[in-house]
Amino acid sequence: MKQVWIFCLLVLTCFFSGCHPGVKEEITQFNTLKKLTPRNYPLFTDSLTLKGLSTSIDQSLSYFKKVPLERKYQYGNDIYTAAHMITSLEIFKHFLEKESSPEELDEFIKSGFVVYEAAGNEDGNVLFTGYFEPTYEGSLKKSDAYPFPVYSKPDDLLEIDLSAFSDQYKGKSRLKARVDESTKRVVPYYSRQQINAAQDFHTKSEPIVWLKSRTDRFFLEIQGSGKILLDQGGVLRVHYAGSNGNAYRSIGRYLINKNEILKENMSMQAIRTWLELNPQRMDEVLHHNESFVFFQKEEGGPYGSLGVAVTPLRSIATDRKLFPKGALCFMQAQLPDKININPLKEWGKANFFVLNQDTGGAIKGPARADLFCGNGHYAKFAAGHMNKYGKLFFLVLKSGRG
């Protein structure tokens, strides 16, 4: 096995140390958030009902109370402990319970909180997309009606933490790999195409449930969790357990580049319709995304990456390497009008507080955030169409307050 690890280290050294002329400054936790002066704070209002916000705050508090109180969270060049994060959220929640006026809420934050703005893209904007908890029909047994397996995490999937070998890899993602038995070398884990083609993959990964369609399974992977209505009766919830570590590549962007769907018409529903109308090209399109997601059964939820339940329109997913987990945030975004969505007539400006409680394979960099929209018709529609730029702010109680 010594040769296996040496080979792996050599591969990763080449991967991580490559130099690329003209590459911009590396994005890190230190430059992802910019501390604002009070005169540059936005107007803090909330377009939604505050009940869901209190629920989401409780979930973040549950997370922080399970970690060491001295654990550190990076906000640009500033650091706050888990103990401070708890105090910050408790004070904010206590103020919400007073049912104060919008003006009082704005003044409360501006006088007592430090505000940081997400760096975003070159224009300082963040692209907001949405995700939801889908519902599909399934069975615990394979049949002609339910031929597509939802796989559990495979027994032969390795997770390699290179920082255990060298500090130069500290903060880098863990590798997903397997051992090639013929060469005894560590190699990348199977791609989506290889998994779909394997006749014996069930010997490595036991199917949890079987679905009616391949597109259902693909979109379940994209959402990361879902409810399965079983043909035997009852509901089974499944949740993200891991991935094959292969590159996530957007099939929506692929279809746009192939001139199959116009950019202005792109949505999750548009992709599904295209796949259903072009079954002969399903392999080509789905295999473009080499990433493959594995699942586990779950009770309650749906849960985010912090192990706490996410709350509709009050939980977001961001890049976990860049933004502080569990943090209180404020979004300036747009949401589809709940009344006029068939067809969608307009997007409404929406300013509201959220908690950073999840992450996702496609959510990378300082200019991306994914809003959990819940479940049901509106959630499905909003998640499928949301693709708008806005602003994202992170809030934390000033040191010495409380």
Distance of CA 321 to the CA centre of its chain: 12
**For 72-213, where are the alpha helices, taking DSSP H only?**
82-96, 102-112, 192-197
β-pair type (347-358, 368-372): unpaired
Whether 13 shows a pLDDT value over 70: the answer reads no
pLDDT in tens, 162-208: 888 888 877 777 899 999 999 999 999 999 999 999 989 999 999 99
Q: 298 with 338: CB under 8 angstroms?
A: no
Per the CB < 8 A criterion, the answer to whether 355 and 314 are in contact is: yes
**Taking residues 117-129, what's their average pLDDT?**
96
Q: Average pLDDT of 28-56?
A: 93
Indicate if the pLDDT at residue 94 is higher than 70.
yes
Helix axes 102-112 and 82-96, enclosed angle (nearest 10): 160
Percent of the chain with pLDDT over 70: 92
Residue for token pair 């390795």: 158
Cα separation, 338 vs 379, whole angstroms: 10
108-122, 137-151, 327-341: lowest mean pLDDT where?
327-341
Global confidence as pTM? 0.81
Q: Pick 130 or 360 by higher pLDDT.
A: 130
Residues 280-302, mean pLDDT to the nearest whole number: 95
* Domains within the chain, CATH numbers bracketed: 41-132+303-397 (2.40.40.10)
pLDDT at 20: 44
Q: Which long-range contacts (CB under 8 A, 24 or more apart) does 154-160 make?
A: 154/189, 154/201, 154/204, 154/205, 154/294, 155/204, 155/205, 156/204, 157/189, 157/242, 157/244, 157/294, 158/186, 158/189, 159/242, 160/8, 160/186
Can you tell me the distance from the alpha carbon of 114 to that of 38, in angstroms, rounded to the nearest whole number?
A: 8
Q: In the predicted model, what is the mean pLDDT of residues 263-291?
A: 95
- Find out whether 152 and 242 touch, Cβ atoms under 8 Å: no
Nearest to 220 by CA among 191, 240, 199: 240
